[in-house]
Amino acid sequence: MSEITHRTIETNGINMHIAEAGQGPLVLLVHGFPESWYSWRHQLPALAAAGYHAVAPDVRGYGRTDAPQPIEAYSMKNMTADMAGVVDALGEQAAVVVGHDWGAPIAWHSALLYPDRFRAVAGLSVPYTPRAPMPPTQLFKQVFADRFFYILYFQEPGVAEAELQADVRRSMRLFLYMASGDAPPGNFALKPKDSKFLDGMPEPEKLPPWLTEPDLDYFTAEFERTGFRGGLNRYRNMDRDWDELPQLAGAHVQQPALFIAGERDGVIAMNPSGIETMKQHVPNLRGVVMLPGAGHWTQQERPAEVNEALIAFLKGL
């Protein structure tokens, strides 16, 4: 297996930590919330062994990458410019971009905004979603009305930070378990509006097989050091993104694309028509892979299946 190495590069005015393995065509792996490069620990060596240069950054605000103070520093314009800058910093003309959770919208938008830098795109868990008819938080307030919705809860700076940082290990254990395919069925969207994020999340008797104590140690240590502010600030830019990118109304992702998700992923359950909508806006979608029994943490829960699907997609380009 190829060894994973680490270094810091400069991109879009920030210092970004990357983990990398292998040589060959560049594949950029973009993590989501609340994760880090470590979410791709199973993909880096597998992609390297298949003949690719696999690179997983800590997204801005996470891990050993810079975490600028202003909320607007985490806009989609900045996140995608970061990814295009990684391609430049590594001396490459183009890359395949793969994203999971928030990394998926970053990947889809990188493909839209920098079509010359990203020759193909894969989204995990979050399908490509076309521009909404109104600012997203307005839409969420209409849909969820008197119910709790985590994205609205995350909007007020400091509130979710205080809850999640009170006991980082417990927060990570509950969240990683709750959103996985191993948790008991339950509708997280049915809490009262004044709930907190962790309220009602089941406590696992033991960690699921895909998540070891050392894995939890790594995530815990990272967020104890950095806090959750950087990651949460991505959610606080959704309306700003809507204002700043009006040109994306009706946009189609033209590059070859792949979508992978768990059949028990709450993101899919929350938006059951999302995959069909994506198909209309991603005309070169090469495949949709649904993983039985898997939840939200796609590439961590089902590394072998994800690696197989990604490598087959890459070989077919």
pTM to 2 decimal places: 0.97
pLDDT in tens, 66-80: 999 999 999 999 999
Phi and psi dihedrals of 195, rounded to 5? -70, 165
Report d(CA 26, CA 187) in Å as an integer. 39
Nearest to 57 by CA among 2, 97, 114: 97
| DSSP state at residue 252 | -
**Which residue type is seen at 289?**
V
For each of the domains in the chain, give its residue range(s) and CATH number, in order of start.
5-315 (3.40.50.1820)
Q: What pLDDT does 189 receive? A: 64
Residues with a catalytic annotation lie at 101, 296
Give the count of beta carbons closer than 10 Å to the beta carbon of residue 225.
10
Report d(CA 108, CA 264) in Å as an integer. 22
**Could you tell me which residues come within 8 angstroms of residue 156 by beta carbon, excluding any fewer than 6 positions away?**
none
Q: Would the pLDDT of 1 be above 70?
A: no
Confidence of residue 190 (pLDDT cuts 50, 70, 90): confident
The 3-class secondary structure across 32-99, one letter per residue, is CCCCCHHHHCCHHHHHHHCCCEEEEECCCCCCCCCCCCCHHHHCHHHHHHHHHHHHHHCCCCCEEEEE
pLDDT in tens, 86-129: 999 999 999 999 999 999 999 999 999 999 999 999 999 999 99
